[in-house]
Structure 1
Amino acid sequence: MKIDAHQHFWKFDPVRDAWIDDSMKVIQRDFLPSDLKPILAENKIDGCVAVQADQSETETAFLLKLAKENNFIKGVVGWIDLCADNTRDRLAHFSENPLLKGIRHIAQGEADDFLIRPDVLRGIGLLAEFSLTYDILVFAHQLPAAIEMAMQFPNQSFVLDHIAKPKISEGIDEEWKNNIRKLAELQNVSCKISGMVTETSGFIWSKQDFEPFLDHIMTEFGVERVMYGSDWPVCLLAANYGEQLNIVADYISKFSETEQRKIMGDNASAFYRL
């Protein structure tokens, strides 16, 4: 089964979704399952994981409702306030729905030490109790905190989103390489090869731009801990669905069929218990 391990849905709200500014007009609209379903079918993708884009329980409930109504949405990575006094109760409440697979916080928008704050660590420490994964969304310079955080929870399943958003157009950076290596040493951490096209300057790119980054990710994480994600519809800022998919598909074409199946779906299915 081929799985897109990272995409979003929303009903566009210019106030709530202020991050989608006028430089992103192409995604200043609703994106719903009816938009994605034919695109997945055209690209021979069997299902997807819907990931939070708004830090609210309202959106978590919205995504779970969409997943219940559309069986191609195989799971949801939602948001719960991990720093609240009632975090365990809220996790228990939402975990009653088996379609909730994990939790994410937009840590890229927080201070660099956010992931190692005591209140955040307390919340992350509750996730394993409910068999929930955690998506790590950080910029490259925030990787040290992500490494320190993941080291503290060897029994918690983590996945790094968007290969930590390095500046693709500037070429590979030694600091990013070293931090990716340290993170990959932790066997409880996986990595999504997703969100890369939008980390290019002016959204101008060629497939060759991504090769050194993908080389390093594959070397460090290996085929067992890497999964494909589109980051649709955010990817539309720089590429259509087929274009971003082909970056990954062409790169892994030299791998065995078994390895390709792992990257394109088996790993995501196992990680998120789809």
Structure 2
Amino acid sequence: MIGLIDTHQHLVYPDAAGYSWTKGIPVLAKNAFTLADYQALTEGLGIEATLFMETAVDDPDIAAETKLVSDLAKSSDSGIAGLIATCRPEIDKGFDAWLNDAKAQGAVGLRRILHVVDDDMSQSETFRANVRKIGANGMTFDMCFLARQLPLAAELADACPDTSLVLDHCGVPDIAGGGLDPWREDIRRLSDRPNVACKLSGILAYCAPENATLEAIRPYVDHVLEAFGPERMVWGSDWPVVDMANGIQDWLDVTRQILDELSDVEARFIAQETARRVYSIS
């Protein structure tokens, strides 16, 4: 069994930080999702290492979340190979200091969720200059755009050619609504940018209720495979958001089915090799 590097492991510690975005999502609201929980759920299922992905904590708690997970990662049995910390590239003041601080705490990349802000945020020169700084410091930038925003992702990639960008959740396609187009063409155009990789994660949560299946996501998986190729794809669990579908163990089963249909070399790229290259994991 090929070992997986989970590049999208969220952790939720309500006693340490606020997660206002979970309100109205019963499966997530007010619940803790700890490292111990994750390890218990994935024991024996082939997770070789993880990258913690910032969990969109309330702004006053950004530094607290990063320190909490940085401390967790210091344990030899944490399995955490690095952090993808949150950032605010739209604000120049203090950005350099945060970039250095996050890197010192084990961050291999940074993320700013962009589907919860105005579309023009990623188009500002301040934002783009700071994303270029991320690349200059040897770190990646994870892009979290909605399907309708994929042209913005292409523009950001063009403006930051020396920064390695990772498109989260295959660009959030509307699977429940059968939204293959224009997502399909926008994905193809984005894949023309050599500094962009695609993350196979999160997509079961975009299926219609009771239809979060391999069959439902197959057209979308097949298209990103064709557009990006396995050598430019990484894998992520998106736990615990994946609980909005059928949970992490089901997603791992679906993942294994997808990988089993590929050659060993192709499967290894998606499972771990691309992640090692993109995120500079030793």
Q: TM-score range by the shorter chain?
A: over 0.9
Assess if the C-alpha contact under 8 Å between 2:136 and 2:163 holds in 1. no
Report sequence identity in percent: 26
Match of 2:67 in 1: 61
Match of 1:89 in 2: 97
Assess if the C-alpha contact under 8 Å between 1:172 and 1:213 holds in 2. no
TM-score, normalised with respect to structure 1? 0.93
- 1:130 maps to a residue whose letter is N
Match of 1:19 in 2: 21
Match of 1:115 in 2: 122
- 1:43 maps to a residue whose letter is L
More displaced 10-residue stretch of structure 1: 117-126 or 228-237: 117-126
Assess if the C-alpha contact under 8 Å between 2:28 and 2:240 holds in 1. no
1:76 aligns with 2:83: yes
Structure 1 gaps of 5+ residues are none
Q: Secondary structure at the match of 1:227?
A: strand
Match of 1:151 in 2: 158
Give 1:258 shift. Answer: 1.6
Q: Deviations over 1:186-224 (max 9, x none)?
A: 111001110011112336322111110011100000010
Give 1:8 shift. Answer: 0.3
Q: When you count helix as a share of all residues, which structure comes out higher? A: 1
Aligned residues: 273
Matches of 2:15 and 2:8, distance apart in 1: 21
Alignment of 1:108-257 (within 5 A): 108-202=115-209, 204-257=211-264
Q: 1:170 to 1:71 in 2, by over 3 A?
A: same
Assess if the C-alpha contact under 8 Å between 1:156 and 1:188 holds in 2. yes
Q: Deviations over 1:28-52 (max 9, x none)?
A: 3111111111223231111111100
Assess if the C-alpha contact under 8 Å between 1:76 and 1:102 holds in 2. yes
- 1:61 maps to a residue whose letter is K
Matches of 1:204 and 1:218, distance apart in 2: 22
Matches of 1:126 and 1:203, distance apart in 2: 43
More displaced 10-residue stretch of structure 1: 174-183 or 84-93: 84-93
Structure 2 gaps of 5+ residues are none
Matches of 2:275 and 2:16, distance apart in 1: 32
RMSD, aligned CA = 1.9
Q: 1:2 aligns with which of 4, 21, 26?
A: 4
More displaced 10-residue stretch of structure 1: 85-94 or 146-155: 85-94
Assess if the C-alpha contact under 8 Å between 2:114 and 2:145 holds in 1. yes
